[in-house]
């Protein structure tokens, strides 16, 4: 422990060894009735350089970032005081989003040990002083908004505290507890706290130890892990002691450690040093070493995890929202939890109820006389217990990953399976059927479950649920459930494009209008049965599916542009229909999940997110396989590592790609939670 003590003492000299990825500060549309249409009326921040947006610009301190090259990739390419080349953890660009960040005297060099802090950095603002500023802010707010309104804002605001400790000790935790209690006494009720990141992986921390060039400093990381355990226990105690307090610790250690250990997997090149100047030697965050005249600064910050010796690049911040990184999902889930409260099963919605096609079928077709099944190897080889379940994937579907993010420990069962009975019905059910879609006639020909029949099964499910849960509880579940619908791909790829009786009579646009009509009828029927929160996937880039390239690509070297154009036109129609339906159906929230863009971006630039192959699937040749006739245990050429492939078979994404899509779904669907 001697070496550890020496390292921590060095770290005391540099409180700016801040958390790599800051809290998400975003207010998103939720229909809560606030004047500004945000979940929270205000966001009030305390902390250090991870979240400082410019307070140090107005302080006599070396620790500033209001000069180039800081901010070179920010709005207007100007520095703002953010310790980054661009945005701090990506400010979400969601439809209808309004961002309201109210920061009062946030300071970069803020740490727990205030006596030491004042000796080392006399210009830093201690936490106790930040609280005094917060009191002053309350008085200013009262003058602007009035007494009643200001109290409402303070009561409902989301207050975020980022902690960067000097050393692992009970004293730090007691100071943390005291701060939260004071914050609580001033009206705070929703507090998000980040854990320590893997401090031993920060370039500046590596510089303190001579052998650190070989990797992260494990002794420092162990200290961070131990502190995180203690801070978690303390927050549990605080929540029990303080009525109405909702306090959550965000675990950022594991996802960040994964990124640093496997940067190539997520499209990064460099993790050991930052982009700005040398950024691999000491004090790479001050203007003395990172400034407009700095030499050796990298040309492309998107390849770097760190911007300087401590702070992340914008690319690393965006990574949290756009890749497999679980941290982004955890942060989102916490925001949801603040709004939604808790359910008996500790999930953010009481149930998930799914309709649609093979993209979301979890095994209903196993019980049907149809060719469109996936209950045999190699399907499911990377799923739980490495067994096929009927999912058209090597592992989890995007909806499985979404369910996990929302707190579900098990997945809603396929309605036709024996598991769809008793208490299993309390978390929802899955009615989806591969080869189904908006066109009932095509589903019937394929011996799949048409959407109209899926709706009838849902009505039957409601009756079973009432018997299990009782009338009142079942009504609550039905009203609060998240409803998901995935359809349209089979209608075009397996029906319209290969059926001359359709494509010779109707244009793709006309057929799309017919499908949108069926969609409208389905949503109205679902609403009539109690659904209020409905998420619907758009069409993917149909022309980029390996099967589509094989069958319709002819001499095109890339995606089939004609099919992609058809998909985009359909997506416009279904978005317009959803907007119209939401106006017609009181209390409904209908979100169209745009899966076209994230999947298209993945296909066009697979290496940017750690993939190697996007033109063909993993199973067999990967160009035409999708049923047992072509993708089966005897299929030659099946790849050994599906994580490198965007597609599992010639139509369906791999589990790795589904993770990317799930990230997009959860971000776009925030308004459905709560």
- Which residues participate in catalysis according to the annotation? 358, 649, 652
DSSP 375-414: -STTTTTTSGGG---S-SSSS--HHHHHHHHTT-SSPPPB
User: How far apart are alpha carbons 72 and 294 in whole angstroms?
Assistant: 14
Phi/psi at 400 (5° precision)? -65, -45
Cβ-count burial of 528 within 10 angstroms (0-12 exposed, 13-18 middle, 19+ buried)? exposed
Structure tokens at 578: 């959803």
69-to-22, 199, 272, 281, 292 alpha-carbon distances in Å: 20, 25, 20, 18, 6
Name residues whose C-beta falls within 8 Å of residue 568's C-beta, 6 or more positions apart in sequence: 596
Q: For residue 593, give the 3-state DSSP assignment.
A: strand
Structure tokens at 44: 């009030």
Name residues whose C-beta falls within 8 Å of residue 121's C-beta, 6 or more positions apart in sequence: 15, 61, 63, 109
User: How far apart are alpha carbons 581 and 672 in whole angstroms?
Assistant: 15
Structure tokens at 202: 């920060």
Terminal C-alpha separation, the chain: 47
User: How far apart are alpha carbons 315 and 35 in whole angstroms?
Assistant: 33
Query: For 492, which DSSP code?
Result: I
3-state helix, strand, coil in the chain (%, to 5): 45, 10, 45
Number of Cβ within 10 Å of residue 257's Cβ equals: 18
Query: Helices in 186-241 by DSSP H: which ranges?
Result: 203-207, 218-241
Structure tokens at 485: 């619908």
Cβ-count burial of 421 within 10 angstroms (0-12 exposed, 13-18 middle, 19+ buried)? exposed
Considering Cα of 627, then 632, then 636, then 642, what sign does the dihedral take?
positive
User: How far apart are alpha carbons 493 and 409 in whole angstroms?
Assistant: 34
Block residue for tokens 């982009």: 275
Helix 326-340 with 253-261: angle, nearest 10 deg:
160
Cβ-count burial of 342 within 10 angstroms (0-12 exposed, 13-18 middle, 19+ buried)? exposed
Query: For 417, which DSSP code?
Result: S
Number of Cβ within 10 Å of residue 304's Cβ equals: 25
Which CB contacts under 8 angstroms, 24+ apart, belong to 219-225?
Answer: 219/3, 219/4, 219/7, 220/4, 220/7, 220/8, 221/257, 222/4, 223/4, 223/8, 223/167, 223/168, 223/199, 224/168, 224/195, 224/196, 224/197, 224/198, 224/199, 224/200, 224/253, 225/196, 225/253
User: How far apart are alpha carbons 479 and 570 in whole angstroms?
Assistant: 29
Number of Cβ within 10 Å of residue 158's Cβ equals: 26
Query: For 211, which DSSP code?
Result: G
Structure tokens at 449: 């479950």
In 3D space, the residue among 349, 380, 383 whose CA is nearest the CA of residue 366 turns out to be: 380
């Amino acid at each position: 422990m001697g070496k550890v003590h020496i390292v921590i003492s060095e770290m005391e000299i540099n409180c700016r060894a801040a958390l790599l990825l800051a809290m998400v500060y975003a207010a998103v549309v939720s229909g809560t009735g606030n004047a500004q249409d945000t979940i929270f009326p205000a966001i009030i921040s305390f902390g250090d350089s991870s979240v400082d947006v410019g307070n140090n610009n107005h302080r006599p301190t070396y620790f500033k970032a209001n000069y180039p090259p800081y901010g070179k990739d920010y709005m207007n390419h100007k520095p703002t005081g953010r310790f980054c080349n661009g945005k701090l953890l990506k400010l979400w660009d969601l439809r209808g989003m309004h961002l309201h960040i109210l920061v009062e005297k946030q300071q970069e060099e803020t740490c727990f040990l205030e006596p030491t802090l004042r000796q080392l950095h006399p210009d830093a603002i201690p936490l106790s002083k930040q609280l005094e500023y917060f009191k002053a802010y309350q008085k200013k707010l009262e003058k602007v908004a009035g007494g009643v309104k200001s109290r409402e804002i303070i009561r409902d605001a989301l207050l975020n505290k980022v902690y960067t400790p000097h050393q692992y000790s009970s004293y730090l935790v007691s100071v943390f507890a005291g701060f939260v209690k004071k914050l609580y006494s001033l009206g705070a009720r929703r507090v998000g706290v980040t854990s320590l990141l893997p401090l031993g992986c920060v370039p500046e921390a590596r510089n303190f130890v001579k052998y650190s060039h070989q990797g992260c400093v494990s002794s420092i990381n162990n200290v961070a892990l131990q502190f995180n355990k203690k801070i978690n226990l303390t927050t549990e105690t605080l929540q029990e002691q303080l009525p109405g307090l909702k306090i959550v610790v965000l675990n950022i250690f594991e996802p960040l450690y994964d990124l640093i250990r496997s940067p190539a997997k997520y499209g990064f090149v460099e993790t050991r040093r930052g982009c700005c100047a040398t950024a691999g030697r000491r004090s790479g965050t001050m203007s003395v070493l990172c400034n407009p005249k700095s030499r050796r600064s990298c040309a492309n910050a998107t390849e770097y995890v760190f911007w300087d010796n401590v702070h992340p690049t914008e690319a690393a911040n965006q990574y949290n929202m756009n890749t497999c990184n679980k941290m982004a999902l955890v942060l989102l889930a916490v925001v949801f939890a603040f709004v939604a409260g808790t359910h008996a099963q500790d999930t953010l919605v009481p149930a998930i109820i799914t309709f649609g096609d093979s993209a979301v079928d979890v095994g209903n077709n196993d019980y049907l006389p149809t060719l469109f099944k996936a209950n045999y190897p190699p399907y499911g080889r990377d799923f739980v217990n490495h067994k096929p379940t009927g999912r058209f994937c090597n592992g989890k579907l995007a909806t499985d990953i979404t369910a996990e993010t929302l707190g579900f420990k098990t997945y809603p069962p396929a309605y036709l399976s024996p598991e769809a009975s008793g208490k299993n019905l309390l978390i929802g059910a899955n009615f989806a059927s591969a080869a189904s879609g908006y066109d009932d006639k095509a589903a019937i020909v394929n011996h799949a479950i048409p959407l109209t029949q899926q709706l009838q099964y849902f009505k039957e499910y409601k009756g079973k649920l009432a018997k299990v849960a009782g009338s009142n509880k079942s009504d609550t579940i039905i009203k609060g459930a998240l409803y998901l619908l995935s359809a349209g791909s089979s209608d075009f790829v397996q029906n319209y494009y290969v059926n001359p009786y359709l494509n010779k009579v109707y244009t793709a646009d006309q057929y799309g209008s017919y499908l949108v009509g069926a969609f409208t009828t389905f949503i109205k029927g679902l609403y009539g049965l109690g659904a209020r929160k409905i998420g619907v996937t758009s069409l993917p880039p149909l022309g980029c599916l390996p099967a589509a390239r094989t069958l319709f690509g002819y001499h095109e070297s890339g995606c089939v542009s004609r099919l992609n154009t058809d998909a985009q036109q359909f997506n416009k129609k279904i978005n317009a229909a959803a907007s119209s339906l939401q106006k017609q159906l009181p209390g409904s929230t209908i979100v169209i999940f745009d899966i076209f863009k994230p999947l298209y971006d993945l296909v066009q630039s697979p290496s940017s997110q750690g993939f190697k192959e996007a033109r063909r699937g993993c199973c067999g040749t990967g160009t035409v396989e999708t049923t047992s006739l072509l993708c089966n245990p005897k299929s030659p050429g099946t790849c050994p590592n599906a994580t490198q492939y965007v597609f599992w078979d010639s139509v369906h994404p791999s589990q790795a790609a589904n993770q990317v899509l799930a990230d997009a779904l959860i971000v776009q669907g925030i308004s459905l939670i709560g």
